[in-house]
Structure 1
Amino acid sequence: MSFPEELGRAVGALWGPVVRMGATLRHARLFHPDGITYRGEVKAVTGRDSLLPVAARLAGPALVRLSSALWRGQREWPDILGLAVRLRSEPTVTELPSPGDQDLLFATVRSPWTLGLAPLSTDTHDWLENDYYAVSPFQVAGLGRAKLRVVSSHADAPGHTRVERLEAALQAGQARFTFEVMPRRGEGTGRWHPLAELRLVEQVTLDPVTLRFWPYRNGRGITPAGFVHALRIPTYRQSQEGRTLH
């Protein structure tokens, strides 16, 4: 583990008890307490030969959780929206991960430096009018250091709430997102490239207490790297221990 990652774990350990207390008092995750879950399908769409191995590893069934960071009850107040994806090794819809699964967590935050402004730039009225970033880089097998994001389809679906708009887009076959990657070196450095398409298939009901995404679940060879990711290790564990309800 690098020095920035060691530092991240140390800072996370300091914040861990605060996160745990917040989760205990809230009876839920301290951040992203409420969410809706969907069964999804992922298929490779890259046109670059160098990215085909990575894109192919993403393909298959997926479990998707869409959430808001601050407010509960689907309030569409200024907020940060999150999109968590579990790339599944099996088609079974379940809260529990299987060997080979990969968890990827995204939010409407471009970088740690824009965190404070993110609620102002996020369209909280429509899941499909935002792009979602992993914030910090990953070590991607076969590619090296890279950043990831998920670009929405920006579908113009009817509805009075973001949940209604998402459901309308799903029924129209337009509830889609695209995984994109930005390599840190080699071919395509510094530019975003499409990898795979994520299509939402149907909403599913799962036990929110049992469903736990873990940033370091890396069954597809995508491993978090850097200070911010390492910060999550102790804080996620403390949050999971502190909450008793979703």
Structure 2
Amino acid sequence: MASAIRRDRIFHPDGVLYRAEVKPDAQHGALKPLAKRLDGAALVRLSGALWRWPQGRRRPDLLGVALRVRGNDETTVRLLPGDQDLSFVTATTLLRLPVSTFATDAGDYLDNSYHSIFPYLLDDLGRVYLRLVPLQPAPAGADRNQRLALAVAKEKATLRLELQAAALGDDWHSLATIDLRERLEVDEDAFELHPGTSAMGLVPDGLMQSARPEIYAASEAGRRLTER
């Protein structure tokens, strides 16, 4: 209902979609099997959480990353067997979302860390959390989209995917690097996140995770109703 009233997605109404390459970067032996599975192609959608762009460019906002790690080399925006979708936002916990709205640098996608907030289960390690950490900010530019495009052109748009697990202590451990390669000139609204997927072995865990597929599906359905 909320997405139908808004005539768009409830959250992350619009963004930019990039093709990316994932390269294993795990140093801890327990993480190398997962890192190997992640190796290959990916789609990365970066967006603001609350406002459409550029209308909301001067408003406090969260930023989000939707990552589709692919089990194939297809560039279609459709979810295929072997794919897993992961989502991240510029807040460390659900309770910190309001505060993080004011702490996020909404003018640069590459000047923020992104957290999964909700946990996953991984064989042999139990409950784990994920985050994305850009290796460096984007070059100066007119807005966040142009800055990101400039970073990609210079081959400096890299995110490090990290994992934290109680079984490994409190430290964050590198899993892989994600290099953005080119913006896809497609209707990015056709990219629909499927947070219930687990093809790479990361199984959504907990009540909030179990509810997310229905929430996202309802949001997309409401958006499509307004397009008719």
Give the TM-score band, short-chain normalised: over 0.9
CA–CA separation in structure 2 for the residues paired with 1:160 and 1:170 = 15
Q: Pick which of 173-182 and 158-167 moved more.
A: 158-167
Could you say which residue in structure 1 is the equivalent of 2:207?
A: 227
SS of equivalent residue, structure 1 residue 243 = helix
Match of 1:58 among 29, 32, 38: 38
Query: 1:36 is matched with which residue?
Result: 16
Q: Does 1:202 align with 2:205?
A: no
Unaligned ranges ≥5, structure 1? 1-20
Answer yes or no: is the 8 Å Cα contact 1:46–1:193 preserved in 2.
Answer: yes
**Contact 1:128/1:152 (CA < 8 Å) preserved in 2?**
yes
Query: Equivalent residue for 1:10?
Result: none
TM-score of the pair, normalised by structure 1: 0.87
**Which runs of no fewer than 5 residues in structure 2 stay unpaired?**
none
Aligned partners of 2:202 and 2:177: how far apart in 1? 17
- 1:136 paired with 2:118, answer yes
Inter-partner Cα distance in structure 2 for 1:206 and 1:27: 20
Q: Is the 8 A contact 2:14 2:189 kept in 1?
A: no
State how far apart, in whole Å, the 1-side matches of 2:4 and 2:11 are. 12
Moved over 3 A (4+): none
The match for 1:14 is: none
Q: How much is the aligned-residue C-alpha RMSD, in angstroms?
A: 1.5
Equivalent residue for 1:164, pick from 146, 156, 159: 146
Question: 3-state DSSP class of the match of 1:36?
Answer: strand
1:24 matched residue in structure 2:
4
Work out the CA distance in 2 between the residues paired with 1:181 and 1:210. 29
Q: Deviations over 1:176-206 (max 9, x none)?
A: 0000000122xx2211011100000000023
What residue in structure 2 maps to residue 90 of structure 1?
A: 72
Higher relative contact order (CA 8 A, sep 6+): 1
Of 61-70 and 92-101, more deviation after overlay is shown by: 92-101
Percent same amino acid among aligned pairs? 37
The normalised TM-score by structure 2 is: 0.93
Give distance in 2, aligned partners of 1:110 and 1:191: 15
